[in-house]
Structure 1
């Protein structure tokens, strides 16, 4: 199965945005720092997400991004589709030329699997993910790490000790 980095990063970034939506517009630099995704890559992804109205941008001081719809209305499949990605389990990227330019015996099986995966991702919303306890725990750890990194008076040993507890 093939789901590229672009699709994974888009889902991760929008989930981060949804988690932090209650604090106002979210800066891409903050998402970049929390998720380890380059800022320039996020800018490219968010341009596509904005065109599909999954996010909106607010300019100026205190600006950033907001979700374009409520979290329950944004499905994971919508995010992947918005960045022009597909979930593809076929060897031929769905072209049907898997075996010497012809369709292979199992092409339709892998095509059906791709559709099942897309349907599964279409059944999951950002709200579903936000409400998962393990996602809440990971997000809290990321927020704590980001806060510690923004405190220049803390040295590396104290930061490390905080995460080893």
Structure 2
């Protein structure tokens, strides 16, 4: 399993927005600068999250993006299932129903199912507020004033 850039960026942006509070709209340009993600690429990610009703977008003066969910209720799994094609460790577990012709006799399938269950369980257990609790006070600013972000 490998999380794509889209999934990692979506998680970073959601943590950023959670830090701003649910009542505040944050401009695309500010998110782009803080997270060092191109505005064009970020628009696509934000569009996905707005369509899924995880974020709310508003146009015009004072507009931007804000979270619709509580940071205590939004999990890493919630974000990745919207942005990743699959988070399964093997292709035969990509869909709800395993359509592999060898599924009934596959000796390795139980290992992959257990791994899939562990991965999903862990990602469902990590909420956005956990990231916020672990941020140092000066997270996001380096001494010369430039913005930076973690490598999520």
TM-score, scaled relative to structure 2? 0.77
1:94 to 2:96 alignment: no
CA spacing shift, 1:146–1:17, aligned 2, 3 Å: farther
Corresponding position of 1:125: 127
Structure whose alpha-carbon radius of gyration is higher? 1
Q: Output the CA distance in 2 between the equivalents of 1:146 and 1:121.
A: 33
Instruction: Give the counterpart of 1:140 among 121, 130, 138.
Output: 138
Task: Count matched residues.
Answer: 142
Instruction: Give the counterpart of 1:106 among 105, 108, 111.
Output: 108
Corresponding position of 1:74: 74
**How far apart are 1:147 and its partner, in Å?**
8.6
Consecutive unaligned residues of structure 1, counting only runs of 5 or more, are 151-165
RMSD between superposed Cα atoms in Å: 2.8
Contact 2:93 2:113 in 1 (8 A): yes
Q: Output the CA distance in 2 between the equivalents of 1:43 and 1:146.
A: 29
1:47 to 2:47 alignment: yes
SS at match of 1:71: coil
CA spacing shift, 1:110–1:141, aligned 2, 3 Å: same
Q: Residues 12-58 of structure 1, C-alpha deviation per residue, up to 9 Å, x if partnerless?
A: 11111111237821112222222222221211111111111111012
**Where is the helix percentage greater, Structure 1 or Structure 2?**
1
**How far apart are 1:72 and its partner, in Å?**
0.9
Contact 1:2 1:87 in 2 (8 A): yes
**How far apart are 1:140 and its partner, in Å?**
2.5
Contact 1:33 1:146 in 2 (8 A): no
Corresponding position of 2:62: 62
Consecutive unaligned residues of structure 2, counting only runs of 5 or more, are 148-152
Contact 1:7 1:79 in 2 (8 A): yes
Mean alpha-carbon deviation: is it higher for 18-27 or for 5-14?
A: 18-27
